Amino acid sequence: MDKIADLAQLISRFAPVSGMSGTAVPRLSLIRADHPSAPVPAVYEASLCIIAQGSKRVSLAGQSVVYDASSYLLVSVDLPLVGHVLEASPAAPYLCCKIDFDPAALADLLVTEQRVSSEKDLPVLAVYPSDPDLIDAACRLVKLLDRPETIDVLAPLVEREILYRLLTGPHGATLRQMGTVDSHLNQVSRAIATIRTGFHTQLRIDEIAAASGMSASSLHAHFKAITRMTPLEYQKQLRLQEARRLMLAD
């Protein structure tokens, strides 16, 4: 049986009902949907998303990407996206594993790398063809849920392998920017963290620029180039998503 089918079986077993499930493996979530969904706004953390079955459309500021079991999604900064499960049924549910990136693990791995990070503003939302070795590592990470006593020791090793395979793949430049403190992508990530922490308060560009290590003008330019929106537009998206969440909770 091929690895993507193995991954689908594992996700189906550990996520038996629709929704997103956190797991005992740090930064690993499993997602299942038994039916196509309406477009759902949500903040996606910087992460790797691997679909084992079904398909999904993800949209950001007018840009949409579709991915399925033949590809995977890489999100390199926290983004307010709109997700739309396209293919799913009770007999063949949408199944996905999401692995959030650990900045410390990525930075540690970069210490062993000799390549210089590019200063070019790179795509923060992209789909790439599936890599069998990456799928195999994802299977091993999910399978650790069968033996919880091994997670503390083995999960960091498998996670490091996944990061290494991403670094040596077609998206390596993006991963290097994520883990390089003075890269534009890393600086914008710090700005985003500041905005998310105080998204309900008045936005002060000077404070966000200081937190990111950029000037206000440089922050504005690179923030928009990377996220396709200004810091103020980003904050508005967060507020809209929070308002929607509260409305659904009532």
What DSSP string describes 29-77?
EEEEESS----EEEEEPSEEEEEEESEEEEEETTEEEEEETTEEEEE-S
CATH of the domain at 69: 2.60.120.280
Within a 10 A sphere around the Cβ of 109, how many other Cβ atoms? 20
Is the pLDDT assigned to residue 117 strictly greater than 60? no
Is residue 122 located within the same domain as residue 232?
no
Same domain, 27 and 57: yes
Q: Is the separation of the CB atoms in 12 and 131 below 8 Å?
A: no
pTM: 0.88
Q: How many CB atoms are closer than 10 A to CB 92?
A: 12
- For residue 18, give the DSSP letter: S
Which pLDDT band, with edges at 50, 70 and 90, does 244 fall under?
A: confident
As a whole number of angstroms, the distance between CA 126 and CA 67 comes to: 10
The number of folded domains in the chain is 2
Q: Which pair of tokens denotes residue 7?
A: 């991954």
- Residue 1 binned pLDDT confidence (cut-offs 50, 70, 90): very low
Residue-range definition of the domain harbouring residue 194: 184-249
Residues 156 and 222 in one domain: no
In angstroms, the CA 192 to CA 190 distance is 5
The string of pLDDT tens digits covering residues 126-164 is 999 999 999 999 999 999 999 999 999 999 999 999 999
Please state, in angstroms and as integers, the Cα–Cα distance from residue 110 to each residue in 52, 65, 138, 192, following that order. 29, 28, 21, 22
Pair (149, 63) in one structural domain: yes
